[in-house]
């Protein structure tokens, strides 16, 4: 199948949540920030997948979840036009899946939330492509699919990334770093902002 077809973007469905959560967990399990969240390496992917599942489910009601047609990548967005509620019964569900790591997840949630604008934007929470499919423009296809709609509506976007590669990827899409948020354990999260494009004024002839 041509790459252009494989990079076709579709909306996720509830049946896709399990594999999306696994892809996210596999993609970020070795990040320094994640190693602080779940120090036990043997438990890390399982716990990350379960926590990711909570947030992907939430994004389906309060944002957008997009896939590549061949299931090689996913982008998860949250709508912050108004104050975003927590996932239903979040405290109990998080404690059930994160166990003794729960306090670290809550601490990171709070730390990042304290740096986010109150409202009026959408947040790109996750964009990831399976390792064997990277370097082909698939991540860009995933993100620009939704950015086109947001740009047309004049909506700015926000993102938080944990790697240099992620920061550079977002910069190429028009995001600009605004600050580094220090995370316990000695690492950091880069906060980025992408303003809405200028309103086009019709030319008078």
Is 134 part of any domain? Answer: yes
The pLDDT, as a whole number, for residue 2 is 46
pLDDT per 10-residue tile (average), the chain, 205 residues: 64 95 92 91 96 97 95 95 94 97 96 93 95 83 95 96 94 96 89 86 49
C-alpha span between 97 and 85 (Å, rounded): 20
pLDDT in tens, 48-62: 999 999 999 999 999
**Tokens at 99, concatenated:** 């166990």
The pLDDT, as a whole number, for residue 151 is 96
Q: Is 188 helix (H, G, I), strand (E, B) or coil?
A: strand
Q: 74: which strand partners?
A: 67, 128
The pLDDT, as a whole number, for residue 201 is 47
| Predicted model pTM | 0.91
pLDDT in tens, 2-17: 445 556 899 999 999 9
Domain that holds residue 156: 3-194
| CA 189 to chain CA centroid, nearest Å | 13
Is 185 part of any domain? Answer: yes
Is 55 part of any domain? Answer: yes
The pLDDT, as a whole number, for residue 1 is 43
Is 99 part of any domain? Answer: yes
The pLDDT, as a whole number, for residue 199 is 65
**CATH code of the domain containing 56:** 3.40.630.30
Closest CA to 75 of 131, 27, 20, 33: 20
Is 205 part of any domain? Answer: no
The pLDDT, as a whole number, for residue 37 is 93
What sign has the CA pseudo-torsion 83, 151, 178, 140? positive
CB 159 within 8 A of CB 128: no
The pLDDT, as a whole number, for residue 7 is 67
Is 120 part of any domain? Answer: yes
Is 69 part of any domain? Answer: yes
Q: How many domains does the chain have?
A: 1
Is 201 part of any domain? Answer: no
């Amino acid at each position: 199948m041509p790459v252009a077809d494989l990079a076709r973007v579709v909306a996720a469905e509830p049946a896709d949540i399990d594999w999306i959560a696994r892809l996210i967990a596999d993609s970020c399990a070795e990040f320094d920030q994640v190693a602080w969240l779940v120090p036990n390496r043997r438990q890390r992917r399982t716990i990350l997948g379960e926590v990711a599942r909570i947030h992907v489910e939430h994004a389906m009601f309060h944002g957008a979840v997009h896939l590549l047609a061949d299931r090689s990548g996913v982008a998860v967005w949250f709508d912050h036009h108004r104050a975003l509620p927590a996932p239903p019964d979040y405290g109990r569900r998080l404690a059930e899946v994160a166990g003794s790591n729960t306090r670290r997840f809550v601490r990171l949630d709070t730390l990042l939330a304290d740096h986010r604008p109150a409202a009026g934007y959408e947040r790109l929470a996750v964009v990831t492509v399976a390792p064997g499919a990277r370097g082909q423009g698939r991540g860009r296809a995933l993100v620009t699919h939704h950015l086109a709609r947001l740009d047309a509506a004049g909506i700015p976007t926000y993102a938080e990334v944990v790697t240099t590669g992620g920061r550079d990827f977002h910069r190429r899409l028009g995001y600009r770093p605004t600050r580094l948020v220090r995370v316990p354990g000695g690492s950091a999260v880069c906060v980025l902002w992408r303003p809405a494009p200028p309103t086009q004024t019709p030319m008078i002839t």
